[in-house]
Chain A
């Protein structure tokens, strides 16, 4: 463990990922110049339009994808330069873990629940075999509320909620300090979602993990995170305490996003702001035009010739907008 506990757990600087557009020399700017940090034990939400680069960003951080540019410091160490395929075997791997959206897709169909949870312990753990392994797996199963009797089952013999418990068990088996959750409950029904959200909150409290939580369900994000990052077309456009993002959003994109949350019991077809205009292309976008320009209700000529960068609204609230509300 690093001695300096005041340094952030995760520190991401100017992180960038471009994908080549097949058959051309153009590139999709999936993640573009993203800078942020996560403190130890902090729970951070990541929200934004579908296709804006959330999954790409978290895959870069989990080091299953190599960045085009930028740096990733984890616990003070520069982990961004370790190639993804080698990262699978370095000790830091144990400390950054990921839970995926669809448990059915992300679990190996030929692994029992026991094997799935044991897999990271065998590979990177200190209890690779025999009785000590069985004890560790049983402990993890207990932590995630998976009855021991189910450990011998294959994914197709488990319900969606049980599968997600196995996925979470695999991720926390090595006691990571950062758990990345990419839409962990969107494939689950509301009742199971409620159970899993309570489980995640409980685990964070008991194990002191930091969370990076990606979700389209803004009500859920608000429940389980302390700070929220808002992404738009590859860039972070706003960052602040969850309460500020939901009640006093500064960026026009966030201000369109929050009221779009469907509400139970509200009248049908309730009037609300719609984003009009063409979204800008993620393919080689202009470096000197705000990505939201053209759809932004507050845009003006400066937004077309200069890229806004994150600027402080208050101490802990930032937005990248020339017309940001204060």
Chain B
């Protein structure tokens, strides 16, 4: 009874969510239209929604729209996987090793402010203009975020959990896998979500300079021909993909660390 109530609540709030989202998108498009149609702005610089729609259809028919998306998403996914797996493993390791924990903070304080875009030239020199340099830039930023969160989550596991586990006779491996890792999981998942957002940012940074395909490249290419409508298409793609990715990670988090959402 209570469960079915909660489910219908959930469905209702889900519907309300979709309604709100549609309403806000509709509002934005309406304002955009008004500004573009008011004659106050140059339509070559600030295209109307229908011009952007036509540009998107063009790109779609040329087969570029989907292939760019595929290319960009593949880069983001591969870079993310390398960075995320590395970040989780290294984070678990550094959190369990006291000596590394001490050296970690100064290191991170130095590394964190370096924006992904500043790494692109170096990555190109090291890994060439191909996919390698993109993977490197994306994996690096993801790695930092995931490492930091994993390290923090793993080293701040509540003492009572550790005490309870030990006085219940758990071995060290069992304490690690059944207590430390799940206790750190909410932080790890938050790190992965942040890493996914960063993967997207550094993907675009890597594609804007030194790429011959992908959404970022297409925006850069459009600049040479002052095709602002195509730039808008690229920007909207990035917005939609980024939002979808974040929603995916939110629902992943609800599954993986379901006890946090009780």
Q: Do A and B interact? A: no
Query: Residues of B at under 8 Å CB distance from A?
Result: none
